[in-house]
Amino acid sequence: MNVVSPIRDKKQLEAVKGYLRGKNKRDYLLFMIGISSALRISDILRLKVEDVWTGKKPVEYVDLHEKKTGKYKRFPVTPNLSKAIKEYMTEYSPAQDQFLFVSRVGENKPITRQYASMMLNEACDMVGITEPFGTHGMRKTWGYWAFKQNISLDYISLALNHRSVAETKRYLGLLQEDLDNIYLQVNL
């Protein structure tokens, strides 16, 4: 398994959003859910239209049981995510029982993890991101920006369903960042 990184630069994050939004609203919504929810790609791809859309407007909260852990997860639909959902629904008008990220291949099947990874890597390449990203990078991006906004690592750890804060620090690359800063501070 390749280690992926979060998007640490706000301009690059906005550039990925802009690229995907202009290219394909489905892929843009996938990215927006990924960076807004801290969900794993396996959970994102299982979402149905009814999980995010009432038929007239976005839901207030998305509720699900995580595939990997079986744990219940709930997250609010943020204003930015709500806007992305509305744009998607306006363009595609999918049925409520349809997969949200339906593939063009097969009848009501979601896109594959491989397609999602390829699409995200292409978007990152197009905006000049050189660090490895992939589907898990969306989850890491959420955690990284939560930390940068001074959200307690205890809460971030809970949101990511990690066993400990130390695991979350390793996961987000904060331990290495801290170690790098220590070396720079010592500067003998």
Q: Are residues 186 and 122 in the same domain?
A: no
Q: What is the CATH number for 120? A: 1.10.443.10
Q: Is the pLDDT of residue 85 over 90?
A: yes
Residue 62 is predicted with a pLDDT of: 97
Average pLDDT, the chain: 93
Q: Average pLDDT for residues 144-169, to the nearest whole number?
A: 93
Q: Are residues 157 and 142 in the same domain?
A: no
Asked whether residue 1 is domain-assigned, the answer is no
Return the HEC string of 73-109. EEEECCHHHHHHHHHHHHHHCCCCCCECCECCCCCCC
Q: Average pLDDT for residues 165-188, to the nearest whole number?
A: 85
Q: Are residues 97 and 187 in the same domain?
A: no
Q: Is the pLDDT of residue 6 over 70?
A: yes
Q: Is the pLDDT of residue 178 over 90?
A: no
Residue 143 is predicted with a pLDDT of: 95
Asked whether residue 94 is domain-assigned, the answer is yes
Q: Are residues 103 and 121 in the same domain?
A: yes
User: Locate tokens 């038929």: which residue?
Assistant: 55
58 secondary structure, DSSP code: B
Cα–Cα distances in angstroms (integers) from residue 77 to residues 10, 37, 81, 83, in the given order = 20, 8, 6, 10
Q: Are residues 132 and 172 in the same domain?
A: no
Q: Are residues 131 and 97 in the same domain?
A: yes
Q: Are residues 144 and 159 in the same domain?
A: no
Question: pLDDT tens, 27-73?
Answer: 999 999 999 999 999 999 999 999 999 999 999 999 999 999 888 99
pTM, entire model: 0.91
Q: Are residues 49 and 73 in the same domain?
A: yes
User: Predicted confidence band at 1 (pLDDT cuts at 50, 70, 90)?
Assistant: low
Query: What is the spatial distance between Cα 172 and Cα 139, in angstroms, rounded to a whole number?
Result: 10
Q: Are residues 44 and 105 in the same domain?
A: yes
**Overall number of domains in the chain:** 2
Q: Are residues 28 and 59 in the same domain?
A: yes
Q: Are residues 24 and 39 in the same domain?
A: yes
Question: pLDDT tens, 88-147?
Answer: 999 999 999 999 999 888 778 999 999 999 999 999 999 999 998 989 999 999 999 999
Just list the catalytic residues: 40, 68, 136, 139, 162, 171
3-state helix, strand, coil split of the chain in percent (to 5) is 55, 10, 35
Lookup: tokens for 182: 């220590």
Domain span at 120: 10-149
